[in-house]
Structure 1
Amino acid sequence: MTRSTYPPTDGAPTAPPAGTPSPASRSSIRQLAAASVGNAAEWYDWYVYSFLAVYFADRVFPKGSGNSLVPLLSTFAVFAVGFFMRPVGGLLMGSIADRRGRRAALTVTILLMGGGSLLVALTPTYASVGVLAPVVLVVARLIQGLSVGGEFAASTTFLVESAGPGRRGLFSSFQYVSTTVGQLLASGIAALLARLLTEGQMGDWGWRVPFLIGALLSLVGFWIRQGAQETREATRDTDPERPALFEALRRHPRESLLICGITAGGTLAYYTWTTYLPTYAQVNAGFDKGDALIASTLSLAFFAALQPLGGLLSDRVGRRPLLIGFALGFAILAVPLLHAITSAFLSLLLVQCAGMVLLTGYTSIAAAVNAEVFPARVRAAGIGFPYSLTVALFGGTAPYLGTWFKQSGHPGAFPWYVAGLCLVSACVYAILPETAKRPLDR
């Protein structure tokens, strides 16, 4: 008589085969993928604009057009639109996340970003439609600014609320892992097209291709997010306890100010080291532009790899030691590090990597720290508006202030500005309660 190959039918649970991920593990991976893949697609769409602007600027904002609206709209689009809309997006998308659920807000943000990217790809030239061309581009960037402002609020709350006990720091770190991946993907695709196509082809149609890719990536992110589990259910429209739009600001002013203080030094250091440093090296040390981009790419890859390590460490030793280490490190070392940059390739690479190590003390746990400040009821909106406003005021202005200090004859003042603002944030971190071991409000 042969032994049956069928499983026992006595109702006893059977263990999964060795090496098979548990349901809880699969759920965690799905949640991380939903937040991270979508976030990478969001930031790819956001960054690819800056990498390709040089190719389409003359097509949309022609020089000497004779129409005074064109340079005005150009200035507005380049300097104001994106960062102006980010606080608005943080408030509106955060409110959707608090009222309708985190997954609903993540769905809206990625569809907005994909739609904005598609609109950029389809933007007509000034030669074909006149002033309508820059108007279309400005509208597209308004949509993308709204989206990226809401993405941090929604994905931050979603990531941290998806984490198991003792894992909030680790999950938090994937916010900047995915952001950096999106940035690297944008620069890589832009560089590849620039190498494969001629200057004329890039100007005629090549610059549109990465935006079409971005729209497709957004659809992939949307599909993945549809399979995610909701971390906070929606409240009914008739619920008298439904959070109001400005409730977080009205009822939690101290927490809102804390978010500003937590973010100020971190966002300035982040944009200085990840975005402005290649330009700073070119302007102040005569660094080669191509070498600066290579050094920046290498340091960004190093930065992405550091994030989970910082998140894991914070789950063990707490958030405050990492935050204080980051802030005091920049307060003490920002000036000597920036002054150490010379025209030698290794000098910039080492300075960037050293800054990335310090910066990880903030970026790897920013999502967790922000989420742990607010109660679940208003967590997304509570984070979204003050965070995005602070980023707009201090992060978005970093390249412009650095250039302004140089043009005004005081290039050495910018490193002191970075150090001073990080010192201000260090004072905030010193009074911040430790929240790593506290249960998260649900």
Structure 2
Amino acid sequence: MLHIDQAVDSTRPPNRIRAIVGACSGNLVEWYDFFIYAYTAIYFAASFFPKGDTTTQLLATAGVFAVGFFMRPLGGWIFGWVADTRGRKVSMIISVFMMCGGSLLIAVMPTYETAGIAAPVMLVVARLIQGLSVGAEYGTGATYISEIATPGRLCFYGSFQYFTIIAGQLLALFTVVILQQTLSDEQLRDWGWRIPFFIGAASAVVVVYLRRSMHETATHKDMHRKGAGSLRGLFKHKRAVALVIAFTIGGSLYFYTFTTYMQKFLVISAGFDAATVSFIMTCALIGFMLCQPLFGLLADRIGIKAHMLMFSGLGILLVIPLLMAIRSTHDPFVAFALVFAGLVIASLYTPIAGIVKAELFPPAVRALGVGFPYAIGNAAFGGTAEYVALSFRAEGAETYFFFYVAAVLCVTFIASLLMPHLGRHGYISGDGNIEENTGRHPREAQAAKAST
């Protein structure tokens, strides 16, 4: 018997579209706010830390940026509980308010010259708030989209989560470029860097308005079920938790290698100038963003398991030669083609990243199951991708990082092999027998089902 989790009566096309827009607009704003920090750090670093060389100040701001990654597991835990016991809508509205608060705090906070040590302390607090918010947004957003989507179009709808993550990153980049063309370098360092944070805070108000009219997909029965939103309830699904972590470590490491770290890799290893790299990565990310709905439609046709096997298998085979070729080329057009090829492989994972996790858990622990294990894997492997890569490079063994990415993808590939067919056994599309069928050959699963 199928597990029908969606509130079908309130998801007619107009309501469904409005709900998806509300969910995805919040995702866009949150990731804009998260990335704008990285893009404006070069301008505000001197404002919040003691006078010294620029490198030291940038390292300090980079350390504060990393704090946001390691707050995600806590955000996934806390807001997974909120979403599973109080509702997806409540969790998503609170997460946007928190991101708005963090951005507004950065926009108005005093400098080190004015407030002394209180300035960097407040900056850390703001990033802690934003890290919690992003940890909350991913799990709850993926859960909500999976529950509101049209049957047979889960991956297509799910693709808009990463579409808006990339769009948020691009919007942050374009905002900074416009300011660079409008203001002088001195104005940007003095006060202009505050403008993008005010924009992010104001945008969140619009998202809150959109989310207020969203339909709640969690039922009263599921929210009050024994173990709902609890870690004890979550770890009754330990095989599903293991699958989420295994999918995340490979997917996140690969994603951050070809997006965030790639911008530095093209400069320090391939030898391109910063302006050329910005052009290469902007074009590649736009193409990557447009791939999301197309690959989502493909996943709906061939299945999530096939997509995961293709992603991890191609990643294992091609990530080493791709990174070696990128490092060796001096032609920007060849570099773009190679980077985009790497992102096309990533597009086999990103559109289904939230849906595959949502399918593994019942509604009573779904937001927690999607958000918490993901945040752990993302912080451990996605958040450390750049640090690990630069550490290998510092030791004169940069190529080892390429093999490291391939090795982690092997874990994802094995997990993809062990994952049951979600169309038959997923909690949204199938009978919910995930634990019983994880790791079994299809014939064994069929025989076990017949015996019961």
User: TM-score by structure 2 length?
Assistant: 0.88
Partner amino acid for 2:412?
S
**Correspondence 1:133-144 to 2 at 5 A:** 133-144=119-130
Q: Is the 8 A contact 1:268 1:418 kept in 2?
A: yes
Residue matched to 2:448: none
- Report which stretch shifted further, 415-424 or 260-269: 415-424
* 1:201 equivalent among 167, 176, 187: 187
Q: Is the 8 A contact 2:76 2:139 kept in 1?
A: yes
Residue matched to 1:184: 170
Residue matched to 2:36: 48
Partner amino acid for 1:375?
P
Partner Cα separation in structure 2 for residue 171 and residue 55 of structure 1: 37
CA deviations over 1:307-336 (Å, ceiling 9, x no partner):
111111111111111111111111111111
Q: Is the 8 A contact 1:94 1:154 kept in 2?
A: yes
Q: Is the 8 A contact 2:37 2:65 kept in 1?
A: no
Residue matched to 1:116: 102
- Report which stretch shifted further, 419-428 or 200-209: 419-428
Please report the RMSD computed on the Cα atoms of aligned residues, expressed in angstroms: 2.1
Partner Cα separation in structure 1 for residue 62 and residue 363 of structure 2: 39
Residue matched to 1:377: 364
User: TM-score by structure 1 length?
Assistant: 0.90
**Correspondence 1:64-103 to 2 at 5 A:** 64=52, 76-79=63-66, 81-103=67-89
| SS of residue paired to 2:51 | coil
**Correspondence 1:1-80 to 2 at 5 A:** 24-64=12-52, 76-79=63-66
The offset of 1:420, in angstroms, is 1.3
Partner Cα separation in structure 1 for residue 102 and residue 423 of structure 2: 37
Residue matched to 2:439: none
1:336 and 2:324 correspond: no
Residue matched to 1:435: 422
Partner Cα separation in structure 2 for residue 401 and residue 345 of structure 1: 26
Partner Cα separation in structure 1 for residue 11 and residue 258 of structure 2: 40
**Correspondence 1:43-442 to 2 at 5 A:** 43-64=31-52, 76-79=63-66, 81-234=67-220, 239=224, 241=226, 243-341=228-326, 342-436=329-423, 440-441=427-428
Q: Is the 8 A contact 2:102 2:130 kept in 1?
A: yes
The offset of 1:416, in angstroms, is 1.1
The offset of 1:28, in angstroms, is 1.8
The offset of 1:112, in angstroms, is 0.4
Runs of 4+ with deviation above 6 angstroms:
70-73
Higher helix proportion (structure 1 or 2): 2
Partner Cα separation in structure 2 for residue 47 and residue 134 of structure 1: 18
Q: Is the 8 A contact 2:40 2:193 kept in 1?
A: yes
Against the structure 1 CA distance between its residues 316 and 392, is the aligned structure 2 distance closer, same or farther, given a 3 Å change threshold? same
Against the structure 1 CA distance between its residues 248 and 366, is the aligned structure 2 distance closer, same or farther, given a 3 Å change threshold? farther
Partner amino acid for 2:236?
R
Against the structure 1 CA distance between its residues 50 and 233, is the aligned structure 2 distance closer, same or farther, given a 3 Å change threshold? same
| SS of residue paired to 1:252 | helix
Identity of aligned residues (%): 40
Partner Cα separation in structure 1 for residue 303 and residue 386 of structure 2: 32
Residue matched to 1:11: none
| SS of residue paired to 2:170 | helix
The offset of 1:62, in angstroms, is 2.5
The offset of 1:283, in angstroms, is 1.1
Q: Is the 8 A contact 2:84 2:364 kept in 1?
A: yes
Partner Cα separation in structure 2 for residue 413 and residue 38 of structure 1: 38
The offset of 1:234, in angstroms, is 4.8
In structure 2, runs of 5+ residues without a counterpart are 1-9, 433-452
Partner amino acid for 2:383?
G
In structure 1, runs of 5+ residues without a counterpart are 1-21
Residue matched to 1:10: none
Against the structure 1 CA distance between its residues 418 and 382, is the aligned structure 2 distance closer, same or farther, given a 3 Å change threshold? same
The number of residues matched between the two structures is 416
Q: Is the 8 A contact 2:11 2:148 kept in 1?
A: no
| SS of residue paired to 1:209 | helix
Q: Is the 8 A contact 1:308 1:364 kept in 2?
A: yes
Against the structure 1 CA distance between its residues 231 and 151, is the aligned structure 2 distance closer, same or farther, given a 3 Å change threshold? same
